[in-house]
Amino acid sequence: MRILRRYGLRVKLLSLTVLLFGLVLLYSVFSDYCQHGSYDRKLHEDGDSLHYEYNTFDFLKDESALISSNERIRDGTRTVHKTEPCIIAADSLDGVWSKGGNISARDVYNVTSLRRVSAGGAYTPADCNPQEFVAVIIPYRNRRSNLRILLFYLHTFLQRQKIQYTIFVVELAYPTVFNRGILANVGYLTAKDIGRFTCYVIHDVDRLPTRDANLYRCSRQPHHLAVRSSKYGYALPYGHYIGGVIAFTPAQFEAINGFSNAYFGWGREDDDLRKRITSKGYTIERPDATVGVYEELPHPESDTANPNNPISDSLLFGAEKRMSSDGLNRVMYRRLALEFRHLYTWVYVNTSEIDVMKYIFFIDPDVKQAYAKLKKPS
């Protein structure tokens, strides 16, 4: 009995110590779990960091992770069941960007807005029932500084408009020459698979809206938002220009069969798009010229991966006759990656210019002849 009394107290103390250690360990694990996905509150300026860093798991590690990521994005496009619809107060939309084109990431960085963003660049107003579910599609390649600024800015800009949205960055792998039309079509198809969007905004990476009242909404007609740009002296470069930023409902985009897939390099894909729009009886709506104002972000003058397209005029000449067979219903691409990052959904694809143009030559022999003449020695 004397021995049991002597060692019994020690056993109790040892048991208590083990219990306390276990509780501390459990608290540590639970704390780490609760903080998983927390912000590290540091704005990175290096070339590889395009967003306010968000610690999260690798969404592409396995299929189950990808499925759960898709569900999170679907949550970002689900109606919030509130009694009141989201109504935009006029006095909250009088903001004007006045810094001109000399913009840095820090100028547009707003930690409050970024904290509200869910995985994949999705946002839903918490205090009302949104009336639009908008997919912003950014065709992209090698403009890291522009993309960082645009993402920081758009999240704040769109949240002030009380809309539900997700941002998609669709990137084309090298060495294929840049093709904005294919990337816009891929972005639409990807977004349609992920969420129930009512409006799709095709957005150049180097255009920054300067008026809060420039509503990223769709209407009964295709809606061209970039009425005036610093690139063209704050005026339309020509009367039927529809480049920069344009919005479609799903019905409108599918009726015109999306963008043509034939325009590799710079130029004319917007003019082709305009022909598609007007051939289906649509007109082009624009906001007031004092509202649809954009700043162009600076980028290198020369881009070897986006040269002028030498047969763009020939392609444009036959745009209407290819419309039904060249577009959204015939996009040749392979998806290399789909990642739901903090500030955007990243869609990484490749395509073959040779295969695409073989098909274009087949359906439009005039383009083939124009290309053959181009290749003949002078």
| pLDDT single digits (tens) 310-330 | 787 888 888 888 999 999 999
**C-alpha 269, offset from chain centre:** 19
Give CA–CA dist 200/258, Å, rounded: 11
Specify the pLDDT at position 30.
42
Angle at 59 between CA 55 and CA 63, to 5 degrees: 155
Beta bridge partners of 199: 134
Specify the pLDDT at position 8.
61
Specify the pLDDT at position 21.
62
Kindly list the distances between the CA atom of residue 34 and the CA atoms of 24, 26, 52, 176, 250, in Å, as whole numbers in the listed order.
15, 12, 19, 43, 39
Mean pLDDT of 336-352: 96
What phi, psi does 207 have (nearest 5°)?
Answer: -115, 125
Beta strands at 345-350 and 164-172: parallel, antiparallel or unpaired: parallel
Beta bridge partners of 164: 133
Give CA–CA dist 11/3, Å, rounded: 12
Give the residue carrying structure tokens 């008026």. 211
Q: Determine how many CB atoms are found less than 10 A away from the CB of residue 323.
A: 18
Beta bridge partners of 51: none
SS3 at position 120: coil
4 or 174: whose pLDDT is higher?
174
The reply to whether omega before 175 is within 30° of 0 (cis) is yes
What is the reported pTM? 0.77
| CA atoms within 13 A of residue 7's CA, in its CB half-sphere | 3
Total number of residues shown for the chain: 378
| pLDDT single digits (tens) 187-217 | 999 999 999 999 999 999 999 999 989 999 9
Kindly list the distances between the CA atom of residue 194 and the CA atoms of 80, 162, 341, in Å, as whole numbers in the listed order.
17, 21, 14
| pLDDT single digits (tens) 64-112 | 333 333 334 444 444 445 568 887 754 567 666 666 657 888 888 889 9
Give the residue carrying structure tokens 């694990």. 29
pLDDT band of 54, cuts 50, 70, 90 = very low
Catalogue all structural domains in the chain, each as residue range(s) with its CATH number. Answer: 59-375 (3.90.550.10)
Mean pLDDT, the chain, integer: 80
Give CA–CA dist 146/84, Å, rounded: 36
Q: Which amino acid is at 358?
A: K
